[in-house]
Structure 1
Amino acid sequence: MVVERHDLDGPDGVDALLEFTRRTWTAVSRWHVGDIAWTFGQFDGPAPGTRTSMWREDGRTLAAITAFGAERQDGATLTFHADQARPDAADTALSWAKTVYPEMSVWILETEHHLAAALARAGLRTDPRDDGPFFLAHRVTLDGTLPAVNSPGYTVRPLRGADEIPRRAGLHRAVWAPSSVTDARYRTMAARPPYRPEFDTVVEDPDGELVAYCLGWYDEVNRAGLLEPIGTLARHRRRGLARAAILATLHAFRAAGGDTAIVYARGDDGYPVPRTVYPTAGFTAFARTRVYR
């Protein structure tokens, strides 16, 4: 068979990327189906400002690279994933990327040893002096020790369905302003797997306003959930509402048969709050991202 490159260009490409990510996921992988759904599901294809290339053999995806900011003077930022059983596909993908993005920076999780080996073969290295932004991967086991959800005066519940999407998308925009998430884009994302409203947790104040949320993504094949994104309106922060939404989503994962859940938080001092929240919900950090150049 011949490994051929294809650019993600529509819903079929998103489906192929989801299948590839689900099939190759491990407990130490950076990519999860939730990352794919959040990044590309709003558009049912390429996200603005990105280019995603996939290397396939007989219709089966073996490696993929997403480039962000390819037009920047200092080079593109890439995320990279490959089938552990096919290092040749990883090498083919990186060989192509070096010609297209000569000033690229590639982010992986330090536990993805097969990707680190491929990057080393391609001549890329980490800089031990690099003190720029990085992410910490956290995980929690969904066993009987999960804390109860506690949010006095507030209601924590799943999204009730499509009718609430304008309020839900509006909440995201208010938390993360400026944001590109429109009502229409949220509807597109919510209309297809792997989105499920029972994992889209919202927190409602006594006046009925949505004030916090945690969006969960569940991979039923690997029995693993991902939290992405999470937020609270500024005037309702420091009341434990994000933690309550997180815990409610974890309980929903467990009810669906989940074994584990993961979340990524900035680990550097430039954005310190999230890394203090997740341990209170039972998460433990197990790895950080590394940048290869």
Structure 2
Amino acid sequence: MAIMTRTPGVDGVDETAGVLREWQHDGAPVQLHPGDLGWFRRFGAEATAAAVRTWSRGGRVLAVGLLDGPGLLRLTTAPDARRDEELARRLAEDVTRPERGVLPAGGARVEAPVDALLHDLLSEGGWGVDEPWTPLRRDLAEPVEDPGARIEVIGPGRAHVRAAVQRASFDGSTFTDGRWRAMAAGAPYADARCLVAHDERGDAVAAVTVWSAGPGRPGLLEPMGVHRDHRGRGHGRAITVAAAAALRGLGSSSAVVCTPGSNAGAVATYASAGFRPLPEVRDRVRPAVDRRTSEEP
């Protein structure tokens, strides 16, 4: 049977997130997570649907991609399809040929699991590798320690607080309470939490959103940020420990996060919160586009 590429549409995004949920397990490489679709949902249902691609054979979805910014495709496959040659060749053709409607001509990047055959095919096609990223994971089998700060779980009435910390944590952020509401309206947010840490004066100093993929599966931190006026005081560790506790409360088996390998401060913060660095990963790249941040595409 032929492999079909499609954009699922608004009604199909929730189903696609469900497929991604089923592919998450602790033995897998860190990969595209339903929470990534959930975080993108801040731009609205239609924009999220337009950014999603699926590859199917015989009615079964084998791969899911998210166009997470200009020239960037974040991609994963079913665990048993990583080395599927027919799928890998179709993916390589689709990301290489602009007329397929996946990536534009010129500079582009593809994020894919490290064990995917697609890496080999893109390398053969002249794609290089981008700067390294460091995935980190914390096992959640045991109870999580107290974060040592007052942690607030954000609801609609306090969305403006969450949004303000986000803007103060990431230069150029366009996150607003309206975008928070758009995000929270998506199905993935039913298994998510937004947390804000407050200091001893009551100021909101750090924030995180955590995304569960269901009981017994890895949960995701995306994004985590510390207010630029309150850095260097342990607030990053506190909100990260709180994130791990929230995911454990949601039934997650582990908590995962990914940060640029060059960001030694972020790696150290996650490590101080009990996260263990995993082997670095690199995107496949055709030169001439800026690398993504974890905040805005």
What is the identity, as a one-letter code, of the residue corresponding to 1:146? V
- Tell me the residue number matched to 2:101: none
Match among 86, 92, 95 for residue 94 of structure 1: 92
- Distance in 1 (CA, whole Å) between partners of 2:229 and 2:42 is 30
- Tell me the residue number matched to 2:44: 43
1:288 aligns with 2:280: yes
Q: Deviations over 1:204-262 (max 9, x none)?
A: 24554322112111111543211111111122111111211111121122223222111
- Distance in 2 (CA, whole Å) between partners of 1:13 and 1:125 is 34
* DSSP 3-state at the match of 1:170: helix
- Residues 1:47 and 1:256: Cα distance change in structure 2 (over 3 Å): closer
Checking the alignment, whether the CA contact within 8 Å between 2:139 and 2:253 is kept in structure 1 is yes
Checking the alignment, whether the CA contact within 8 Å between 1:202 and 1:211 is kept in structure 2 is yes
- Tell me the residue number matched to 1:18: 17
- Distance in 1 (CA, whole Å) between partners of 2:223 and 2:178 is 18
* DSSP 3-state at the match of 1:189: helix
Quote the offset at 1:102 in angstroms.
5.4
- Tell me the residue number matched to 1:248: 242
- Tell me the residue number matched to 1:142: 140
- TM-score, normalised via structure 2 length: 0.80
- Tell me the residue number matched to 2:72: 77
- Distance in 2 (CA, whole Å) between partners of 1:251 and 1:290 is 29
Quote the offset at 1:118 in angstroms.
2.7
1:172 aligns with 2:154: no
Q: Deviations over 1:70-111 (max 9, x none)?
A: 5xxxxx3332212233423333222222212554432334xx
Identity of matched residues, %? 25
- Distance in 1 (CA, whole Å) between partners of 2:69 and 2:167 is 22
1:272 aligns with 2:276: no
Checking the alignment, whether the CA contact within 8 Å between 1:141 and 1:261 is kept in structure 2 is yes
1:105 aligns with 2:103: no
Checking the alignment, whether the CA contact within 8 Å between 2:193 and 2:209 is kept in structure 1 is yes
- Distance in 1 (CA, whole Å) between partners of 2:202 and 2:148 is 18
* DSSP 3-state at the match of 1:194: helix
- Distance in 2 (CA, whole Å) between partners of 1:33 and 1:201 is 19
What is the identity, as a one-letter code, of the residue corresponding to 2:135? A
- Distance in 2 (CA, whole Å) between partners of 1:198 and 1:290 is 27
What is the identity, as a one-letter code, of the residue corresponding to 1:97? V
- Tell me the residue number matched to 1:66: 66
Identify which range, 253-262 or 192-201, moves more after superposition: 192-201
Structure 2 residue ranges without an equivalent (≥5):
99-103, 286-297
- Residues 1:68 and 1:163: Cα distance change in structure 2 (over 3 Å): closer
Checking the alignment, whether the CA contact within 8 Å between 1:126 and 1:290 is kept in structure 2 is no
What is the identity, as a one-letter code, of the residue corresponding to 2:284? Y
- Tell me the residue number matched to 1:158: 153
* DSSP 3-state at the match of 1:139: strand
- Residues 1:16 and 1:66: Cα distance change in structure 2 (over 3 Å): same
- Residues 1:8 and 1:216: Cα distance change in structure 2 (over 3 Å): same
* DSSP 3-state at the match of 2:112: strand
Q: Deviations over 1:127-164 (max 9, x none)?
A: 5xx6x53210000111336333213xxx22322x2111
Quote the offset at 1:194 in angstroms.
2.1
Quote the offset at 1:51 in angstroms.
4.1
- Residues 1:58 and 1:16: Cα distance change in structure 2 (over 3 Å): farther
- Distance in 1 (CA, whole Å) between partners of 2:78 and 2:191 is 30
- Distance in 1 (CA, whole Å) between partners of 2:109 and 2:186 is 32
What is the identity, as a one-letter code, of the residue corresponding to 2:89? D
- Residues 1:242 and 1:138: Cα distance change in structure 2 (over 3 Å): same
Checking the alignment, whether the CA contact within 8 Å between 1:203 and 1:210 is kept in structure 2 is yes
What is the identity, as a one-letter code, of the residue corresponding to 1:53? R
Equivalenced residue count is 273
Quote the offset at 1:126 in angstroms.
6.5
- Tell me the residue number matched to 1:223: 217
User: What is the CA RMSD across the aligned residues, in angstroms?
Assistant: 2.7
Q: When you count helix as a share of all residues, which structure comes out higher?
A: 2
